[in-house]
Structure 1
């Protein structure tokens, strides 16, 4: 993914890179499709059929890529920049800000994709098949709509899309965080009781909205990277993607620990709500107010000469 993103981006002008990277990133839909393919293969042919199936799929993809793709003549490795020069860009604090954004939009997406089936079973007493189907309402659109998020980032800018994505996620997570609650109020006519809970339909609708927000946020974050670090996209997208992947790995572990501590089913959404707060504050201070809380905006470290994919010459 870290290699593919800059490879795809270099073939498109800056004003179309968001959409291009969004289409490339829409391949994460495979994680959702796997929820249907793998169980069916295991049930019909045993667990060994799963790696065999994906080995064949990878081989076919490699052959198609080899014969149909264009050579990446503008690769940084051909420009003479050393590894240390490429890695010097990591000193720019903007890289770590984008890592924080991606840890919630991609890390949260990955974590919830894995967490939601058992959540539906536990909270709404659904069967495994029903839970997997409803969980796909979150994961499938999030992958497909990543291309839409890239188009929006091209048209309205990475900051504007990310800003509204974070607010949409904040609202969705606030509502999803609210646990089943009973209120007892002592009135002049005696005690009054109120019950609040999210039933299955509104919960699934909010989860879908959260998935759409995360999809657009994934695309807009990489649009940020493409705009700010056009000559170092390989390194920066690799680091940002790494942090997002770590978030997807660590968040379910934290969800389990928090659930055991609080014994509240919706505690996973509470935790993500807090992370989104951090993202909103960072975005407001550095982009809306433009305060130097993370240092001054810097030029890209060790810039390499841009080369056009068609001719191999500098523009």
Structure 2
């Protein structure tokens, strides 16, 4: 006897009302843990007298380990169930918070930073978890809502300085530990064991999943998502240092200004997924990247002094973006990146309906790899050229190549669909 599709969608919508808030809350906290050292690291840098290389490793290790764990996390979620992997990841992050409370050496903090990479496994499994409870016609919107949990990285810029000033460093991991344990208990109590097993249509064989790597489609998608999401995470980590050097503001003030990039970008993923449901992925991604390139073009201009030979002498013209204008284009940049990320997640589901967690792991691997490498490239270019805005020039080149390849493939697919005989 065939099941009624409308009835199935209604059941999924009912379960989604419980599952989605839990998954989003968990990802908000996990994302906050993932980027914890982007803000707290400044205080540890002073307390431990870290060198530039040591501080860079502390920032980069969560992303590097996240890249390593992304695909295995997706494979395990496909085989054993997404709920189980999510609970294990929350438990591991809780252990990291306990370690951060106890350690006092750089080596201990570095070990804890490696453990924060478990957020990548939580994300890979979480996409499959919410997908199994989502009606088909709302996939893009729901995945955008879940991915908006990266807003936790933006909340760090506000919560961490507040806790540090009111109490001490130890209060920061303690607060995260309490919330992590609470979310983990709620997931255990409010979700059933059937949710821990893979859906019938889910591919669980590693050989079957790895066979997808033979097709160029998955690699192109990794390039798109890695370019956009990796750039987003890299800017989120690098922006406080850039604003500090550009406008000579205190670290706490700059951390709050960085929220204007992360939070709009996180929330725009909801809009990107919803728009992709209604207007198609190609239209949303291409237009979002076009606006993104405009913002990067403006932000990439460095402070300049132009000397113009006039009739009566030399005219000196100063060019520099004031802080309000810089902040406006930073908001536009974050929002357009987030919109493109939300739409690309919809494309991932359309192209990999039976392997969501594995495909999410591949996308996260590419994003974490880019996010790990870009801050190093930014630092090297800044050291060689002495122009902080050169980082935006690098991002402009990366995303321009991404847009060029995306539009070329999209137009090719459109021509093939028009030329193919209709059934």
With the shorter chain as reference, the TM-score category is 0.7 to 0.9
Tell whether the 8 Å contact from 2:161 to 2:252 is kept in structure 1 after alignment. Answer: no
Question: 3-state SS of the aligned residue for 1:193?
Answer: strand
For residues 287-302 of structure 1, the aligned pairs below 5 Å read 287-290=410-413
Counterpart position of 2:20: none
Which TM-score applies when normalising by structure 1? 0.86
Partner Cα separation in structure 1 for residue 196 and residue 254 of structure 2: 47
Residue 30 of structure 1: which of 116, 134, 152 is its match? 152
Change in CA separation of 1:266 and 1:72 when aligned onto 2, cut-off 3 Å: same
Which SS does the other structure have where 1:88 is aligned? helix
Partner in structure 1 of residue 222 of structure 2:
99
Aligned to 2:393: 270
CA deviation after TM superposition for structure 1 residue 121, in Å: 1.6
More helix, by proportion: 2
Q: What corresponds to 1:166 in structure 2?
A: 289
Pairing of 1:136-175 with structure 2 (within 5 A):
136-175=259-298
Secondary structure (helix, strand or coil) at the match of 2:337 reads: helix
- CA–CA distance in 2 between the matches of 1:96 and 1:181? 40
- Aligned equivalent of 2:359: 236
User: Which residue in the other structure is 2:126 paired with?
Assistant: 4
Deviations 1:176-219 (A, max 9, x none): 00111222233445433332221111110000000100111111
Q: Distance in 2 between matches of 1:201 and 1:270?
A: 20
User: Structure 2 vs 1, CA of residues 162 and 253 (structure 1 numbering), >3 Å: closer, same or farther?
Assistant: same
In structure 2, runs of 5+ residues without a counterpart are 1-122, 416-423
Q: In the TM superposition, what is the alpha-carbon distance from 1:81 to its structure 2 partner?
A: 4.2
Among 50, 58, 61, the alignment partner of 2:172 is: 50
Counterpart contact for 2:142–2:270, Cα < 8 Å: yes
Shift of 1:240: 0.2
Between 1 and 2, higher relative CO (CA 8 Å, sep ≥ 6) is seen in 1
Contact 1:14 1:227 in 2 (8 A): no
What secondary structure, in the 3-state scheme, does the structure 1 residue paired with 2:278 have?
helix
> Size of the alignment, in residue pairs?
292
Which stretch shows the higher mean deviation, 142-151 or 14-23? Answer: 142-151
| Match in the other structure for 1:68 | 190
- Equivalent position of 1:39 in the other structure: 161
Cα RMSD after superposing both structures: 2.1
The one-character-per-residue Cα deviations of 1:125-174 (angstroms, maximum 9, x if unpaired) are: 22222211211111112112221211111111111111111111111101
TM-score (norm 2): 0.65
Q: What displacement does 1:250 show?
A: 1.9
Q: Provide, for residues 200-249 of structure 1, a one-character-per-residue CA deviation record: whole Å limited to 9, x for no partner.
A: 11110000000100111111111110111111111111110121122222
Cα distance in structure 1, aligned partners of 2:134 and 2:314: 66
Tell me what 2:76 maps to: none
- Given that residues 201 and 354 in structure 2 are in contact (C-alpha distance below 8 angstroms), is that contact kept between their aligned partners in structure 1? no
Q: Call closer, same or farther: CA 1:73–1:59 in 2, change over 3 Å.
A: closer
Structure 1 match to 2:323 = 200
1:133 aligns with 2:263: no
Cα gap change, 1:73 to 1:53, in 2 (>3 Å):
closer
